[in-house]
Structure 1
Amino acid sequence: LGYANKTQLESLVRYDLSPVLTNPGLIPLLEKEAAKQKKRVKITLKCETGTHRQGLLLEEIPEYTTLLKKTSFLTLEGLSTHFANIEDTSDHSYARKQITLFKEFLHRFEKAGLPPQRNHIACSAATILFPDTHYQMVRTGISSYGYWSSKETYLSFRAHTSKELNLEPVLTWKTRIGQIKDVGPDAYIGYGCTYRTNQPTRLAILPVGYYDGFDRKLSNSGHVLIHGKRAPVRGRVCMNMIIVDITHIPGCRLNDEVILLGRSGDERLTADDMASLAGTINYEVLSRINPLIPRRIVP
């Protein structure tokens, strides 16, 4: 769905990938590479309907259709676009304007003799709220992880239907206690001495930090779960360590499991919780978890 440049064309063709194009200059270059490898390539064109980020304009359609009709190895598979604010508001008039404009794109390509067959515009919010945006494909991203796109999306859904839709987060992010330490009152914790204890305190040091995706904005405000109880972050989040208070959690031992996101007993921490504390959105919380952290798929 992102930007494709000319240095990637050889790999795009070799691995039978279908690029989304936003630059007419790439069409003859991709045709040349496809002819060289003697392989057909399906492409999608991104349409500008109101986000003003990527995509061709209505008035540029003749340029694209002229270029495509000159090719022998490229097939226009479909059109796509992105909504600008469908998940940020309960007023969907702007999204409706984008839908109308996208239909005009479809009509003009069909009229030009290049009918798109596999079109997609629906993000998670559109998939849930507007069935008429489904076309041949939908792009359910965050809802596939069990999260609502936003509070506004949830409220819009509840306001317009009596149907039930229960989204449950599928991700659990874990670490383990790396060290346990007892300190007295008036002990400064972590970089910057931003937290001072007011009583004898037991601390757990966890081998996870902002390098791993645990936001530094959670310093002195975030929590983790240990033995079904919340343990508050004390001091600043370090690059690859955090310090949490376990004074109120008996029986903690070295190597005990710690939940950063997920359930433990009756408690739960979500990406929404983290996002609220960090002043961001759940998308960022989930996408910033370091890809080097091992993943385990649980059936």
Structure 2
Amino acid sequence: MAPSTSAIVRHMGDCREAARQRPLRSAPLGGGSPPATATGPGRRQGGTLRGLSRPGTLGRMECRGNHSQWLEVDVRALAHNLSVFREILTRGTKLAAVVKANAYGHGTAEVAPFAAAHADWLAVHTAEEARRLRRLGLSSPVLIMGFMARGELHDLDADVHVFVSTDEVLRWLGEYRRSSGISLPIHLKIDTGTKRQGFERSRIADVCRTAAGEGLSIVGIATHFANIEDTLEHDFARRQLALFGDAVAALRRELSSDVPYVHAACSAASLLFRETDFNLARIGISMYGHWPSRETRLTWILDHGRNGVKLEPALAWRTVIGQFQHVATGETVGYGRTWRALRATRLAVLPVGYADGYARALSNRARVLVGGRPVPVVGRVCMNMMMVDVTDVPEAAVGDEVVLLGRQGDAAVTAEELAELSGTINYEFLCRLSPAIPRFVVGDAGEVAAR
């Protein structure tokens, strides 16, 4: 039985406290300092913090009232999204929750303890990310999927598995085994057409001999799809899958045994193609409530209809109004004077900018939510602040909540909307959210379990 949400949230606090006491850890990535005592429900020191958050959120604002911006990670949404994949994956397929890149911007300290309690594995990109999971007190099997430099091989335990795609890393892993006495389990990364990481299939026999000579155990084999998200035609992905099948068969012959871990599925593959499940699936962007692409979602609709999978975004980004400016008709706003008022305008200045991850490309294009209504971003987004037109929200006051990403009342701003306006993808927009922004866990995953 999975731990209760309250137990997980308590564990998150214990993890952060224990990690702060360890000298190797850098400063906590948000939410690490105990919140200041509020002056009353929905209030903050120095003024009133008002807003139209999701039901149940307003009462929690008292613990965030001393922050000018913050992120909320909804563990109920995470639980729902993971349950979606538990339902659609082939029975027996293990689930690896991908928490690389600061858990896709959501916060490693906030997401990883919850993911560890609800998934079978955790997957990261770097050795330091793996060490951080251990400093958080998490004992789940960890898969390092990225390149490791020689000097990064230290303080890794025997339940940290490693993608290997070069002979050099094999030799370094052998050195680590001899110096530490720890043999890190190896998953061979096979290039089937992405031309990024991976051995050629013809190298499998040589790699097996090298690994044996270094005293290393090959326990897995993996590949990665090049074009499973960006198209409605999946012929190339099917060719990759066939080539990977040949590689798996070749490795089995070399090992004279079955391969414990065979994996190829990312979020898109796990949503669309059961033949990619094998016995381990790596779920990244969709664990956080996002479709990998429009094409992935359309393919699902074409195959299954509109009913079925409903992913729920787990992240909200909130700030407060810091100041107002009154702009006369004809006056301009911000650097470069890129916006000119066509009427007497009331601007709200927000303490968020591109240094926080709100892309400069959103200048004069995006919208935020104030009082449950969308209002436009005007002028250039600055390094640490931005301006929005609240002329049509006359009741707005200093200290009021503003939603940059997420819901407020019946309105919503999505990562997909902001990514498209800034010329990128939802992955990048989320991953570029500054680690310095305080992050808070909200929601109740027990609601999902009770359904």
TM normalised by structure 1 equals 0.95
State whether structure 2 residue 308 is matched by structure 1 residue 170: no
Aligned to 1:147: 290
Q: Any idea what the Cα deviations from partners look like across 1:155-193, whole Å, max 9, x if unmatched?
A: 111111245111121111111111112121111100000
- Identity in percent: 41
Shift of 1:15: 7.7
Task: Tell me the secondary structure at the aligned position of residue 83 of structure 1.
Answer: coil
- Indicate if the aligned counterparts of 1:4 and 1:19 stay in contact, CA closer than 8 A: no
Q: Which residue of 2 aligns with 1:228?
A: 372
Cα separation, 1, equivalents of 2:262 and 2:399: 49
Match of 2:392 in 1: 248
**Does the alignment pair 1:104 with 2:246?**
yes
In 2: Cα distance, 1:3 partner to 1:272 partner? 29
Larger Rg: 1
1:264 lines up with 2:404 in the alignment = no
What is the aligned counterpart of 2:163 among 20, 38, 42?
20
- What is aligned with 1:193? 337
TM (norm. structure 2) is 0.64
What letter matches 1:81 in structure 2?
T
Q: How many residues align?
A: 297
Over aligned residue pairs, what C-alpha RMSD do you find?
A: 1.4
Q: Gaps spanning 5+ residues in structure 1: where? A: none
Match of residue 6 from structure 1: 150
Q: 1:79 aligns with which of 221, 224, 246?
A: 221
Is the Cα contact below 8 Å between 2:173 and 2:183 reproduced in 1? no
Q: Distance in 2 between matches of 1:295 and 1:186?
A: 40
1:130 paired with 2:273, answer yes
Higher RCO (C-alpha under 8 Å, 6+ residues apart): 2
Shift of 1:16: 4.8
Q: Report how far residue 32 of structure 1 moved.
A: 2.2
**In structure 1, distance between residues paired with 2:407 and 2:158:** 40
Q: Secondary structure at the match of 1:258?
A: strand
Q: 1:93 aligns with which of 235, 244, 262?
A: 235
**Secondary structure class of the residue paired with 1:233:** strand
Q: What runs of 5+ residues in structure 2 fail to find an aligned partner?
A: 1-144, 444-451
In structure 1, C-alpha distance between the alignment counterparts of 2:255 and 2:263, rounded to whole Å = 20
Alpha-carbon contact 1:4-1:20 (below 8 Å) kept: no
Of 98, 102, 113, which residue of structure 1 is paired with 2:255? 113
Cα distance in structure 1, aligned partners of 2:368 and 2:146 = 34
Q: Is the 8 A contact 1:4 1:21 kept in 2?
A: no
Deviation at 1:277, TM superposition (A): 1.1
User: Which stretch of structure 1 is more off in the superposition, 2-11 or 81-90?
Assistant: 2-11
- 1:284 is aligned to 2:428: yes
In the TM superposition, residue 246 of structure 1 has moved relative to its aligned partner by 0.2
Q: Which amino acid aligns with 2:422?
A: A
**1:262/1:268 contact within 8 Å kept:** yes
